Structure 1
């Protein structure tokens, strides 16, 4: 199954961004506007996702978010994978926050 995929540059400014990485990865640095919903908890927390809006899924490199997007699309959601993930985000120097919302410094 083909999974809709965008690059980081193609994420709309008003997109609902969901980070599916684990808690330690999230704490180390994430996009400020992202919702944290680890892949391992996705099925149990579906009610936290908007039912009528497209969601953009991101992980470290794009593998977990692609699996999550495929599963969500098969289950009635509109989901898009973000290619390159947070690794690409970081390489581009895009803003990150660490645990507690403080600016993340490499």
Structure 2
């Protein structure tokens, strides 16, 4: 059986600074807990990559923009998600590129967000 074509990755240039997550999309953050706690995209879903197969039922039905720190883990997670029937797009450059572009980040504890 052929592997389905993966959707093209999303780049920072594809996103709008005023509304960085397009309508119909949801951000899936596959970083570890300490990385998430340091800073994440507002409204994102957090499922560490290693837990993704066991927690796939927690994913929203929207199309997914998958992020990690630099884009490597999220590329692998996106490929896996696409092979299981989801519409997932890797964010090239990850949250490091997101932060450099000045797009919004938040923390659950009110601290100044950063990307680990």
Task: Report TM bin, short chain.
Answer: 0.7 to 0.9
Taking structure 2 as the reference length, what is the TM-score of the superposition?
A: 0.79
User: Do the aligned residues in 2 keep the contact of 1:96 with 1:103 (CA within 8 Å)?
Assistant: no
Give the C-alpha shift of residue 54 in structure 1: 1.3
Runs of 4+ in 1 over 4 A off after TM superposition: none
Give the C-alpha shift of residue 8 in structure 1: 2.5
Structure 2 stretches lacking a partner, 5+ long: 16-20
Q: Deviations over 1:13-72 (max 9, x none)?
A: 222110100000001111112111110110010001134x31110000000000000001
Match of residue 43 from structure 2: 33
The 2-side partners of 1:22 and 1:9 are apart by: 26
What is the root-mean-square deviation in Å for CA atoms of aligned residues?
1.8
2:57 aligned with 1:47, yes or no?
yes
Larger C-alpha radius of gyration, 1 or 2?
A: 2
Match of residue 112 from structure 2: 104
Pair 1:71–1:105, CA change in 2 (3 A):
closer
Match of residue 12 from structure 2: 8
Match of residue 30 from structure 2: 20
Taking structure 1 as the reference length, what is the TM-score of the superposition?
A: 0.86
Give the C-alpha shift of residue 85 in structure 1: 0.5
2:87 aligned with 1:78, yes or no?
yes
The 2-side partners of 1:105 and 1:57 are apart by: 19
Which residue, out of 100, 103, 107, partners 1:94? 103
Higher helix share: 1
